Structure 1
Amino acid sequence: MTSTRYLEPSKTMATFNGMVRGLTKLGLSVWGSRVLGVRGRKSGELREVPVNLLPFEGKQYLVAARGETQWVRNLRAAGEGQLTVGRRTETFTYRELADEEKPVILRSYLKRWAFEVGAFFDGVNAKAPEEKLREIAPGYPVFEIFTR
């Protein structure tokens, strides 16, 4: 399930993410954004990053479009995280999906946010054949989250 795929954000994207994080913390969710807070695996400090929370068939998912990001590694180490919009923060645990479970989630994620994350999928879009989504699945960690 672990992959070494990681796309580091550019300075422009880091600035944009900072703006989205700020708006989301003020209570203005941008296209379903949340601020993900996870304890750093080395520092123990709370690290925050904006994420897209995907509702799908009554469940909620986090997809790491950039691959093995710091938040993915920290979440795996911490075992839990928190999602914030405005003053509302929910703590959650998770189940990481196996690669064979990911295609339907990746397709839904791309349908909803292709305009924002499509560049991270190397030309694969929501209309891609099932086999293509299975092929790329190992490079995209996906977590089903369970809020408390």
Structure 2
Amino acid sequence: MYLNRQIVLGVNALIHLSQPGRPALTRERMADALGVSSGVAGLVLWKLRLSGLVRADDSTPRLFRLAEKPEQIALVDIFDRMDDERPWRRRQRPAGAGALGRIDGPDMVWSGAEACLRLFLSDMTLADLALGASRFDPVSLKAFRRAGGLPDWSAEP
């Protein structure tokens, strides 16, 4: 499970689109909302559209809106759909997928940490984030580059 800039921008774009009464937005309006260039916003919207989280408006293909209701989108689904580097997409076994007795210590710890993180994210929906019941703060999650890798402790004070 990765947390990269594109996924952070994707989650923030989805939060922005899931606000109650929010109309469909163009790439330029989304870029203004995210504070990035329109090229970066277009790349994120393209990725969200490929993953089935965002769809083009029926009347105007330049407008984007959510493909599903915010209550139906769990955060773990966003990570899974946007993560290109998932092992099962490349038809490889994930690290630590063998029998429990054959997993080395650190791999077992990181596999457990990823399982806990996935469980936590599966209970949190996009509607929770949009209504402020939960908060997605990429600064506090900066240390988690990838479950299974070493955290970047230099970012912490």
Please tell me the TM-score bracket, short chain as reference.
Answer: under 0.3
* Higher gyration radius (CA): 2
Q: When the two structures are superposed, what TM-score results if normalisation uses the length of structure 1?
A: 0.26
Q: When the two structures are superposed, what TM-score results if normalisation uses the length of structure 2?
A: 0.25
Task: Report which of the two has the higher share of helix.
Answer: 2
Task: Report which of the two has the higher share of strand.
Answer: 1
